[in-house]
Amino acid sequence: MKITVMGSGYVGLVCAACFANAGHQVSCFDIDGARIEGLQRGVCPVFEPGLDAVIAQARGAGVLDFTADPGACRDAEVIFIAVGTPPGEDGAADICHVLSAAALVGQHLDRQTLVVTKSTVPVGTAEQVRARIARALAERGRKLEFEVAANPEFLKEGAAIADFMKPDRIVIGTDSPWAEKLLRRLYAPFNRHRERIMVMDVRSAELTKYAANAMLATKISFINEIANLAERLGADIEKVRQGMGADPRIGYHFIYPGCGYGGSCFPKDLRALEASALQSGYRPQLLRAVREVNERQKQRLADKILAYYGRQIRGRTFALWGLAFKPHTDDMREAPSRTLLETLWQAGARVRAFDPQAMARCRALYGTRDDLLLVDTKEAAVQGADALVICTEWKGFWAPDFSALYALLKAPVIFDGRNLYDPDQLAALGFDYLAIGRGLVPPDAAGQGRPVRAA
């Protein structure tokens, strides 16, 4: 099938590359000429494991091209709109780029076409897309049949290629038998071993994406709330987590306590869903609580550091392992590391940081500054530091040489925002180990916990 994907961002590139590798003929359009020129030269503008190889394979087979010419919409059978929906001042998703893309479709369409919203958009957006295309066609004096369907993406950063190639579900929102048939043909290569396609009305499909992300964010905030309680009650959240997860009604997914979630999806989508609820006249108390718990949780590591040192950290140097909001990405949007960095700097501390992928992103965000040194190895970050702080659970951090760490650190202190290590083991090695929901006694009269070593 002949497909046009509008938008060469994260979602657009993954969709375009994976559809092309399934045998479809794909044009990926973007108004950013420099970005398109880079893609034509083989430069992938986003980091996603395996994406550059999939793009190169499709380009080599002649089934994927990149263009800044909106005429790519002219004879496409299916057009996917996969552009950004950044948050507005009130948190609501800004769909101006989606509607601009729809206008371009209407200005260049030359055949019966199915237009599909792939971007994460508020309920009712497909109707606005339909109206914008119809208006553009009317201005041209053209009468062409077209349908608008919703097909939200469920891609995890760091695993997007696998998620697209072997999806858990393929949600299609349409009331048109023709559109459903076309999308079933399109997705046939990804729907071979079992039925993954779920067809529903457009509004339900639009809400499904927001609801899914909100549920996952809720699980994270819930376990973090329990972890904070565990610290005050003298319980170990890791043992509590295992006891909870053994219940198949709960499961182990997304109940790992830590220093909060970040990235481009959960924070933005929670705010957008909350804004949609308020606009509809409904006050979403749970959604607001999930968001507020997460914002507080992102401050937990800095609070632990300040409490440990009696709030006197001016002049101290902290080693930071992990900048990206999660492993297998370079994305630092709303990452917990940013809250930590900015709090430490404000208190007068310096940071030596290492991340396998996000160093360039960090440099682009913060530039050159005296209180931030980006180093090439995790060992270089630790050399002579007052303490080690862990923000991202990269596999390379899971099993360090603790003897070497003890020798490299100025003092054997670890603040672990991802609960990677065994408190008993570290206590036996002579470390002060402060994690999330473990290793603290109940708060003292000043309201601060104090570190304890396991027996």
Q: Which residues are catalytic?
A: 265
What are the CA-CA distances from residue 229 to residues 187, 278, 300, 445 (Å)? 46, 30, 13, 17
6 near 83, Cβ under 8 Å?
A: yes
Q: Is the distance from CB of 320 to CB of 341 less than 8 angstroms?
A: yes
Give 197-200's long-range contacts (Cβ < 8 A, gap of 24+). 197/169, 197/170, 197/172, 198/169, 198/170, 198/171, 198/172, 199/172, 199/173, 199/174, 200/171, 200/172, 200/173
Chain-centre distance of CA 295, in angstroms? Answer: 16
Structural contact between residues 102 and 121, judged by C-beta atoms closer than 8 angstroms: no
Determine the Cα–Cα distance for residues 338 and 333; give it in Å rounded to an integer: 9
**Secondary structure (DSSP) of 253-311:** TT----S---SSSHHHHHHHHHHHHHHTT---HHHHHHHHHHHHHTTHHHHHHHHHTTT
d(CA 162, CA 148): 27
User: For residues 381 and 375, is the Cβ–Cβ distance under 8 A?
Assistant: yes
Contacts of 91 (CB under 8 A, 6+ apart): 271, 272, 274, 275
- In what helix (H) or strand (E) does residue 179 lie, and over which residues does it extend? helix 177-187
Residue 232 has a CB neighbour count (10 Å cut-off) of: 13
416: amino acid identity, one letter: D
Question: Do residues 138 and 228 make contact, with C-beta atoms less than 8 angstroms apart?
Answer: no
